[in-house]
A and B are shown apart, each in its own frame.
Chain A
Amino acid sequence: MLREALRYLLRHKITVFLTSLGIAVSISCILSVRFLSASVQTALEEKLDEFGMKTVTVDLFRKDGLPASFEEDLVRKGIVTMISSRTVKVSQIDGEMTAVYYAEPSFFDLTSLSLARGRFFTGADLDRKVCVIGSGIAENKKNVIRLGEEIRIENTAYEVIGILAEDSYDLNGVYDEAVIVPFEGRYPEGYVLMLSKEETEKSLADALGEYLDEKEFAIHTNADFQSSMRTVTDLVAGVLEWIARISLFVSAFGLMSVVYITGAARKKEWGIRKSAGAGKRDILVQLLMESGMIAAAGFLEGTILSYGWITVLSSLLGLPLFADWKELWEIGGMTVFFGILAGIVPAWRAANATVAECLEA
Chain B
Amino acid sequence: MMRLIGVYKSFGGKDVLKDVSARVDPGDFIIVRGKSGSGKSTFLKILGGFLKADHGKILWKGEDIAGYKERERIVWRRENLGFVFQDLQLIPYLSAKENVCLPMVYQGMKQKDAQNRAERLLNMVGCGKVMNQDPKKLSGGEAQRAAIARALGNMPGLILCDEPTGSLDTQNAKTVMKLLKTVNRYRKTVIVVTHDSSLEQYGNRVWDIAEGRLKERC
Contact = CB atoms under 8 A, between A and B. Distances in A.
Q: Do A and B come from one complex?
A: yes
A293 to B, nearest CB: 14
Given A4-B94, A7-B94, A277 B106 contact: yes
B74 A279 contact: yes
Interface string B49-86: 01100000000000000000011001001100101010
A357 to B, nearest CB: 9
A276 B150 contact: yes
Contacts, number: 65
A271 B105 CA distance: 16
B85 to A, nearest CB: 7
Interface in B87-102: 89-94, 98, 102
A359 B103 contact: no
A244 to B, nearest CB: 34
Contacts of A268: 89
A76 to B, nearest CB: 84
Contact of A277 (B50, B90, B103): B103
B34 interface: no
A315 interface: no
Interface residues of B, number: 27
A268 B71 CA distance: 20
A4 B105 CA distance: 12
B7 to A, nearest CB: 15
Contacts of A355: 45, 48, 50
Interface in A1-27: 1, 4, 7-8, 11
A275 B48 contact: yes
Contacts of A1: 105
Chain A residues touching B, range: 20 to 34
A272 B91 contact: yes
B154 A277 contact: yes
A37 to B, nearest CB: 43
A11 B51 CA distance: 32
A276 B45 contact: no
Interface string A256-297: 000000000000110111111111101000000000000000
Interface in B11-47: 45
Nearest to A269: B91
Contact of A276 (B71, B93, B102): B102
B78 A277 contact: yes
B107 interface: yes
Nearest to B77: A277
Contacts of A279: 71, 74, 106
B89 to A, nearest CB: 5
Contact of B102 (A7, A271, A273, A356): A273
B141 interface: no
Contacts of A271: 89
B164 interface: no
Contacts of B212: none
B98 A4 contact: yes
A4 B92 CA distance: 11
Contacts of B92: 11
A259 to B, nearest CB: 16
Contacts of B74: 274, 277-280
A228 interface: no
B91 A356 contact: no
Ranked 9 nearest A-B pairs via Cβ: A277-B78, A277-B106, A355-B50, A11-B93, A275-B83, A276-B103, A276-B102, A279-B74, A356-B50
6 contacts: A7-B98, A268-B89, A274-B77, A277-B154, A280-B70, A354-B51
